[in-house]
Amino acid sequence: MGKYSDALEKGVPVYASGNQGNKEKEGGGVLQPSIAPSEQKKNISPTAVIPTRHHWDERLLLATEPDSSVIESFRRLRGTILHAHPAKRPRTILITSLVPNEGKGFVCANLGVALAEEMEHHALMVDCDFRRPNLAKLFGVSNQTGLVDYLQDNVELSLLIRQTGQHKLSLIPSGRTPHNPAELLTSTKITSFIDELTERYEDRIILFDSAPTVVASETSILAKRVDGVILVVRWGASSKELVKKFAETLGPEKIIGVVFNAYKESTVESVLYKNSSYDYHYNYK
């Protein structure tokens, strides 16, 4: 982890993973539930189709198998979030990256599953990446309605929450791509949205998947409205200088940790995880 160890100071946790092929993708080939006729803008009702794990993207299924080293790694990250500072446990967490294709959506999905497994907690994921939404595809749910409908049309929040097929894990998709994503996510309405989520669902930890900071200026503003931030860095993609600049702009105290994705493990670690599809492991700083 020495390559980025001096990028973040003041004890910011740094994590690393060995996934060599989990770039976020446009498609995914997942089964898409049909939309009930009544589920239209300004007249939305919950879908009749209840997703199961059979609807999930194959990558997510493999990663969340009980004996997968991937999900075990995210359980360790869960432990850091829940127990590192019990008195100041974050309830709203932003997962983002510096550039596209660093795997932030995949990290958000796996962390959501890991948090939902914990006996005392529920997790709610919100897809704030209007430019390239990914969470709905990973969990095989419809993306026809979502956060956009709340921000643009004042649709009732409870009508936008979707089940995922994982007990105690729910999702608010992004919805159809708006023509003004930056304006929507920097408006006072998004602050009201976050406040309503935290007040209405007190038993849930809320994960926000946002667009990469390099292509979406609104992400930095959104990051300041949550309790903490997890930065996903694909090994060999984002430069040390970009990571350092992001930390300095946001403030190291706001960053829960950095997840290094596609980290190249040592020979010994390769042997230990040779039967795993993703070979995730974590290094703690």
Q: Report yes or no on 115 lying in a domain.
A: yes
Give Cβ neighbours of residue 267 (< 8 Å, ≥ 6 apart).
none
Distance CA 97, CA 103 (A): 8
Q: Report yes or no on 35 lying in a domain.
A: no
The string over 46-59, giving b where at least 16 C-beta atoms fall within 10 Å of a residue's C-beta and e elsewhere, is: ebebebeeebbbeb
Q: Is the dihedral of CA 105, 230, 216, 2 positive or negative?
A: negative
CA distances from 253 to 2, 37, 83, 98, 185 (A): 20, 46, 17, 18, 23
**Average pLDDT, 10 consecutive residues per value, the chain (285 residues):** 44 52 40 40 59 91 88 90 81 93 94 90 95 95 96 94 95 94 91 94 94 85 92 81 85 86 49 33 32
Q: Report yes or no on 29 lying in a domain.
A: no
- Output the pLDDT for position 38: 37
- Output the pLDDT for position 213: 87
Which domain covers residue 245, as residue numbers? 2-21+54-272
Q: Report yes or no on 43 lying in a domain.
A: no
Read off φ and ψ for residue 216, nearest 5 degrees: -140, 105
Q: Report yes or no on 278 lying in a domain.
A: no
CA distances from 104 to 35, 212, 213 (A): 27, 9, 12
Q: Are 164 and 172 in contact (CB under 8 A)?
A: no
Angle at 50 between CA 145 and CA 153, to 5 degrees: 15
**How many structural domains are present in the chain?**
1
Distance CA 106, CA 102 (A): 9
Q: Report yes or no on 279 lying in a domain.
A: no
Structure tokens of 181? 């994503």
> Which CATH number do you get for residue 174?
3.40.50.300
Please give the distance of CA 285 from its chain centroid, rounded to a whole number. 22
DSSP 8-class letter at 186: T
- Output the pLDDT for position 160: 96
Distance CA 144, CA 45 (A): 12
Angle at 190 between CA 94 and CA 247, to 5 degrees: 35
Beta bridge partners of 160: none
Q: Report yes or no on 284 lying in a domain.
A: no
The burial of 38, by beta-carbon neighbours within 10 Å (0-12 exposed, 13-18 middle, 19 or more buried), is given as exposed
- Output the pLDDT for position 111: 95
- Output the pLDDT for position 87: 74
- Output the pLDDT for position 212: 92
Q: Report yes or no on 91 lying in a domain.
A: yes
